Amino acid sequence: MTSLNPAPAIIGEPIGLPLPTKLGGRPLMEALAARKSSREFALQQLDPLILSDLLWAACGINRRDDYRTAPSARNWQEIDVYVALARGLFLFDPHHSQLDWVLRDDIRALTGQQEFVGSAPVNLIYVADLTRMQGSADRDEQRFYAALDTGFIAQNVYLFCASAGLATVVRGLIDRRALALRMGLRSEQRVIAAQTVGYPAT
């Protein structure tokens, strides 16, 4: 697949996030009991610290040698987390706790085919970079492991949201080709899934 609308390499200074707190929240068993999918979200934007904690929980670095909060087959770390906000599209950089600009357009509505995605404050887009999956895995195995690793990240987000009192739902109903073209993805990149996060609707 060739990008018809490639994103500029640099369109602005990265947006620094507060350092994640890594503390607090509900105990694990209570978070598991509260975990659920929600499809109704308040329009309120997430506080920057909550967004930082959310992204760290998703796939942040939690120990030396670049290991993450979510497991990764063969430590490929092939899943990138893109963040679609009202002010633009960003790529999460876990090494510097920042959001790197990708697009200045609001593409939230392109991240899924449900009506709520266009107004929910945050849509995470999980993108696999198959060039990082070197070794003996063939293309079918790469896609399997990419989906598996995405599931780990999505579940981390579910548990964080349950712990922090946020609403979330992971979604597979996406026009992946249209979204990939709008994001300017390379042919070796694949949109796997998306996940909406926000404050619960009252």
Strand order in the sheet with 98-103: 15-16, 98-103, 88-93, 79-85, 122-129, 189-198, 167-171
Task: Report the C-alpha gap between 157 and 170 in whole angstroms.
Answer: 9
Give the residues across from 193 on adjacent strands: 126
Report whether pLDDT(9) > 90.
no
Confidence of residue 170 (pLDDT cuts 50, 70, 90): very high
Average pLDDT rounded to a whole number, residues 84-91: 97
Q: What is the pLDDT of residue 10?
A: 53
Those residues with Cβ within 8 angstroms of residue 96's Cβ, 6 or more apart along the chain or in another chain: 14, 16
Average pLDDT rounded to a whole number, residues 78-100: 97
List C-alpha distances in Å: 88 to 72, 85, 190: 28, 5, 20
Confidence of residue 157 (pLDDT cuts 50, 70, 90): very high
- The whole-model pTM stands at 0.92
Report whether pLDDT(11) > 80.
no
CATH of domain 15-198: 3.40.109.10
Instruction: Label residue 97 left, alpha or beta by phi (over 0 means left) and psi (-120 to 50 means alpha).
Output: left
DSSP string, 11-65: SS--EEPPPP----S--HHHHHHH------B-SPPPPHHHHHHHHHHHH-B-SST
Question: What share of the chain in percent tops pLDDT 90?
Answer: 87
Higher pLDDT among residues 98 and 1, named by residue? 98
Instruction: Please tell me which of 21-25, 134-138, 152-156 the model is most confident about, judged by mean pLDDT.
Output: 152-156
Q: Provide the 3-class DSSP secondary structure of residue 129.
A: strand
